[in-house]
Amino acid sequence: MENTKCVLVTGASQGIGKAISLSLAKDHSCKVFALSRNESALNELASASSNIIPIVCDLTSKSERKVALNKINSISSHLDGLINNAGFLVNGSLPNLDEEDIRKIFEVNYFSAALLIQECLGLLKKAKSSHIVNIGSMGGFQGSQKFNGLSVYSSSKAALASLSECLAVELAEFGISSNCLNLGAVQTEMLEEAFPGYRAPLDAKSMGKYIAKFALEGHETYNGQSLPVSFSAP
């Protein structure tokens, strides 16, 4: 286990997170700690590779995050990567969103990611060179085209992108790199639910493979960057 790359992936039960986990486990022979609230989907994912360790966890719960970290600590002495992929999207303009939805969007997309990073620092510090990859959105990328119904979601992702830039400075002394990948539209379950009938130009499997490779190699070239990953110009 000491020589095996170990990566934690959130939102791993479906879409991009599932594709990232499969690529890391199968294409790169990494040990993958796959986190999600969906136990049955996680167990199905784990059946695809012995390198995938399913961990049921509601990231908005401090107690559940603690249980998840205890399990990871019992298996591995380090983390080479943390991919904050879990996300929550409600298609609605600010005047039409309930307070509960606004708070949940930020709770999932920003606060849980920031707190998980904080809680994983001990494991990340023990790797020779570790990489935090936060999954943002082109909607939160400065100067990009904006769309109606995504103001709060995009704002939460913009906050995550800024955090990624700041962490590169704060964590440099520990050999921890931090970057944010701002994704354009990808065909996932979350996109289909928020925008029925819309067809994205890229599928989850292709994006998952790209992110998996970036998590393992991207910090050799980038640090503290908020990078667009999209077919369309900002």
Per-residue pLDDT of the chain (234 residues; tens, 9 = 90+): 567 999 999 999 999 999 999 999 999 999 999 999 999 999 999 999 999 999 999 999 999 999 999 999 999 999 999 999 999 999 899 999 999 999 999 999 999 999 999 999 999 999 999 999 999 998 888 888 788 888 999 999 999 999 999 999 999 999 999 999 999 766 677 666 656 676 666 778 888 999 999 999 999 999 999 999 886 544
Residues present in the chain in total: 234
With residue 15 as reference, give the H or E element that holds it. helix 15-26
207 vs 15: CA distance, rounded Å? 10
Q: What is the DSSP string of 201-227?
A: SEEHHHHHHHHHHHHHHGGGT-SSEEE
CATH of domain 6-229: 3.40.50.720
Active site residue 110: no
What is the token pair recorded at 225? 């960057």
- What is the value of pTM for the model shown? 0.93
110, 153, 210, 222: which is the annotated catalytic residue?
153
- List C-alpha distances in Å: 217 to 20, 131, 179: 14, 9, 12
Say if CB 183 and CB 206 are below 8 A apart.
Answer: no
